[in-house]
Amino acid sequence: MHIRVINPNTTQAMTDTIGEAARAVASPGTRITACQPDSGPVSIESHFDEAVSVMGVIEEVLAGEREGTDAYIIACFGDPGIYAARELTRAPVIGIAEAAFHMASLISTRFSIVTTLPRTMIIAEHLLESYGFSHNCRRIRAADIPVLDLEDNPDRALELIIEECLRAKREDNIGAIVLGCGGMADLTPTISEAVGLPVVEGVTAAIKLAEAVVGLGLGTSKFGDLAFPRPKPFIGRFESYSNLKLE
């Protein structure tokens, strides 16, 4: 089984971290390709960043289709471009936020999310509503750190994340914590030990879900809104997408 793990930002160190975390939980025989777009934001911390990153996600899915990829992971907690990506392939496409919500709901009736910057809390709230998990989430919290601090100042970032997780444990009446950033992919064991609660991280959760979906012989439905996009002309910088043939 070949799983393509797409980091939608362009920071190689974060892609490496995500890839290592994915390989650590992948089953024997599962091959992980961790990749990132050639162009786009160095981190994703806003609606604008997400919008710009979507074209990079699409390019990585199209590249994976040429290689016969079995499943895709979108390794950003905003799940940017997830529905567009699903239109392009029969393989399952799993976003790390959706994966983390599902996994946390299987082990607890209530969870809290600990993310990076406060403004991304609103994006997480939108995702909870869209995916139908608002009733499972007690609170969305922010450690108030830029995403790149996870790579540039990791010790301090980890300290702040653990402090926020401990506050969630004391105040939120929860059974689990969801980490709200792909850059936290390697921190789960350390945080769980420090906090004393189950900690769910989306990259690793998505890998195991992807293996399960592929193992069941399931893939993205091509009936309804996730059917392949109709071929049509594109102009200007998007001319290369003209008359895409994906079936």
Reported as a single tens digit per residue, the pLDDT across 21-78 is 999 999 999 999 999 999 999 999 999 999 999 999 999 999 999 999 999 999 999 9
- For residue 6, pLDDT over 90 is answered with yes
Q: Same domain, yes or no, for 165 and 190?
A: yes
pLDDT at 183: 94
Domain total of the chain:
2
Does residue 66 sit in the same domain as residue 48? yes
> Is residue 220 domain-resident?
yes
pLDDT at residue number 27: 98
What integer is the mean pLDDT of 154-165?
96
Alpha-helix runs per DSSP H in the chain: 12-25, 47-67, 82-87, 96-107, 119-131, 149-152, 154-171, 188-195, 202-215
pLDDT of residue 3: 98
Instruction: Tell me what percent of the residues of the chain surpass a pLDDT of 90.
Output: 98
pLDDT band at residue 207 using 50, 70 and 90 as cut-offs: very high
Residues 57 and 147 in one domain: no
Q: Say if residue 6 is in the same domain as residue 53.
A: yes
CATH number at residue 107: 3.40.50.12500
Q: How far apart are CA 148 and CA 154, in angstroms?
A: 9
Q: What is the pLDDT of residues 211-224, one digit of tens each?
A: 999 999 999 999 99
Quick one: pLDDT band at residue 246, thresholds 50, 70, 90? confident
Residues 69 and 113 in one domain: no
Q: In the predicted model, what is the mean pLDDT of residues 169-189?
A: 96
**70 and 81 belong to one structural domain:** yes
| Residue 166 exposed, middle or buried by CB count within 10 Å (0-12, 13-18, 19+) | middle
Do 116 and 60 belong to one domain? no
Q: 83-136, pLDDT tens digit by residue?
A: 999 999 999 999 999 999 999 999 999 999 999 999 999 999 999 999 999 999
Domain hosting residue 125, numbered range: 97-201
> What is the value of pTM for the model shown?
0.96
Please check whether residues 103 and 135 belong to one and the same domain: yes
Mark whether 126 and 220 lie in a shared domain.
Answer: no
Does residue 173 sit in the same domain as residue 235?
no
The pLDDT of residue 247 is: 77
Q: Are both 116 and 152 inside the same structural domain? A: yes
In a domain, 157, yes or no: yes
Same domain, 75 and 92: yes
In a domain, 247, yes or no: no
Give the gyration radius of the chain's Cα atoms.
Answer: 18
